[in-house]
Amino acid sequence: MSMVKTGIEVLRDQAFAPLVGKRVGLFTNPSAVDRLLNSTYDILRHAPQVQLAAFFSPEHGFAATAAEGEHVRSSLDAQTGLPVHSLYGESLHPTADMFAEIDVIVCDIQDIGTRYYTFAWTVSHVLEGAGEHGVPVIILDRPNPLGDRVAGPILETRLASLVGRFPIPIQHGMTLGELMQMVNDLWNPTPATLSVIPCQGYARMMSWEETELPFVPPSPAMPHLITARHYPGSCLIEGTTLSEGRGTGLPFEIVGAPYIDSHLLAAHLNDLELAGVRFRPHTFKPFASKYAGEVCAGVQAHIIDTNAYQPIETWLRVMRVIRHLYPQDFGWNERHFDRLIGNDTIRQQIEADVPHDEWQAECEAFIEQRIPYLIYR
């Protein structure tokens, strides 16, 4: 059996010592579990040493059931009667009232190592609020399911949003604890007192499979580990008029629209011989999101070599091919695509049918910049 332990398991081994005698706030959702699938929520609420005082929830809510982009109301937890403060509702930033009832806030949630995913940026808001109000933050760390790969353009901060607040690449190759140490030090105007309880037995080059940890869907459209591996590239489809598979059983693994010839598209894509991936003609009917209730044709991307697969480059090529085949039908959601990719240059280069900028040099600079904040070797 793997010896990797997540932060919650390490905290439990410590008899919850950092929390004893304190009123505890917990930022979490169902993705935070130990290796036997006991949730951090249950572990802490059943620990006699721990006095839970409030919960905090991210996008999709405390139960991870709300749709993408759906505002979530604050509520009361049915099991404990404690408040659940939504940080994806009226405010993205925790308020003074939320901090008034706690002495420390614990953050435990499964991030997926991609800049677009909102959980890390919500934790950055927690750090800012905690710094403002003098409340310490403890992050219970978890492995990055995408490992140590760094890829994609650095975000231009003029495009900052909750799908990217600070200048990091699309894949940053850091755990949540590492990334938040960097955020707290470099970009938090009032740095919080931050502690990270690291994983034990984890090396940053480990694949998720090597950790032998369970993968619990962190959000409704992130059902499988394979989804997370496509996401750094396939999420860019959100910035077009194409369906990225939301409202189907294969979100972020498929792409399509009513006007596409699936066999033609698959043939063109497979002719490119992109590393680590093959494309299969696929027809689907989304029950929600783009083209809800309409039959769409397109492709499903199948990863055949995880180490060789380059998701960002792959899905940019998919967009280029569809735009070339269907120039009258393909369209952009320009603002959203630019926020996702991190600049407006790459979209313009695709429109001009010229090669897009490489990002190797800026990724190498980021790799140097992140060194002081790395926990795992």
Residue 361 in domain:
no
Find the DSSP H helices in 66-154: 96-100, 118-133
- Considering the domain architecture, whether residues 116 and 188 belong to the same structural domain is answered as yes
Residue 349 in domain:
no
Q: Decide: pTM greater than 0.95.
A: yes
Coil, helix or strand for 114?
A: strand
- Considering the domain architecture, whether residues 120 and 265 belong to the same structural domain is answered as no
The CATH number that applies at residue 299 is 3.90.1150.140
Residue 360 in domain:
no
- Considering the domain architecture, whether residues 284 and 194 belong to the same structural domain is answered as no
Note whether 56 and 88 are within 8 A (CB): no
pLDDT of residue 2: 57
- Considering the domain architecture, whether residues 87 and 230 belong to the same structural domain is answered as no
Angstrom distance (rounded) from CA 283 to CA 40: 39
E runs forming strands in the chain: 23-28, 51-57, 75-76, 83-86, 104-108, 137-140, 194-197, 254-257, 277-284, 296-303
Note whether 282 and 262 are within 8 A (CB): yes
Residue 142 in domain:
yes
Note whether 202 and 377 are within 8 A (CB): no
Angstrom distance (rounded) from CA 105 to CA 125: 12
Note whether 89 and 71 are within 8 A (CB): yes
For residue 128, the enclosing domain spans 7-214+367-373
Residue 329 in domain:
yes
Q: How many CA atoms lie within 13 A of 350 on its CB side?
A: 25
- Considering the domain architecture, whether residues 252 and 163 belong to the same structural domain is answered as no
The CATH number that applies at residue 167 is 3.40.50.12170
**Tokens 């609020």 belong to residue:** 129
| Strand order from edge to edge, sheet including 51-57 | 75-76, 83-86, 51-57, 23-28, 104-108, 137-140, 194-197
Note whether 171 and 146 are within 8 A (CB): yes
Q: Is 276 left (phi over 0), alpha (psi -120 to 50) or beta?
A: left
Pairing between β-strand 104-108 and β-strand 137-140 as defined by DSSP bridges: parallel
CA distances from 258 to 13, 122, 181, 255 (A): 54, 36, 45, 11
pLDDT of residue 197: 98
- Considering the domain architecture, whether residues 257 and 299 belong to the same structural domain is answered as yes
- Considering the domain architecture, whether residues 45 and 162 belong to the same structural domain is answered as yes
- Considering the domain architecture, whether residues 209 and 242 belong to the same structural domain is answered as no
Residue 311 in domain:
yes
pLDDT tens digits in sequence order for the chain, 377 residues long: 458 999 999 999 999 999 999 999 999 999 999 999 999 999 999 999 999 999 999 999 999 999 999 999 999 999 999 999 999 998 999 999 999 999 999 999 999 999 999 999 999 999 999 999 999 999 999 999 999 999 999 999 999 999 999 999 999 999 999 999 999 999 999 999 999 999 999 999 999 999 999 999 999 999 999 999 999 999 999 999 999 999 999 999 999 999 999 999 999 999 999 999 999 999 999 999 999 999 999 999 999 999 999 999 999 999 999 999 999 999 999 999 999 999 999 999 999 999 999 999 999 999 999 999 999 99
Note whether 16 and 49 are within 8 A (CB): yes
- Considering the domain architecture, whether residues 244 and 316 belong to the same structural domain is answered as yes
Residue 54 in domain:
yes
Number of domains in the chain: 2
- Considering the domain architecture, whether residues 197 and 288 belong to the same structural domain is answered as no
Residue 356 in domain:
no
pLDDT of residue 3: 86
pLDDT of residue 259: 98
- Considering the domain architecture, whether residues 239 and 153 belong to the same structural domain is answered as no
- Considering the domain architecture, whether residues 165 and 112 belong to the same structural domain is answered as yes
